[in-house]
Amino acid sequence: MKLVRFLMKLANETVTIELKNGSVIHGTITSVSPQMNTALRNVKMTPKGQNTIPLDAMNIRGSQIRYFILVKLVPRRRRVRWYVC
């Protein structure tokens, strides 16, 4: 439950989301619901093995999300340690 509360505070942050079907979504979070349903704007969607598709907005069902990538939210020094260890 704490993870969802953290994600709900990320409004206006740019993230990359990988879905369970292998698609990669890059966009700015508009909102996140308690079920982890995520609304994004300024989206670039890359279906697995296909070209990037630009979209104005997109809603993603929480149960279809594999993980969020929050690279810009982690300081560079800590990021290096996490990948090396």
- pLDDT, tens digit, 9 for 90 and up, residues 2-61: 888 888 888 899 999 999 999 999 999 999 999 999 999 999 999 999 999 999 999 999
pTM: 0.80
Query: pLDDT for 73-85, tens place per residue?
Result: 655 555 444 443 3
Tell me the CA distances in angstroms from 27 to 44, 80, 84, 85, one per residue in order. 6, 24, 27, 29
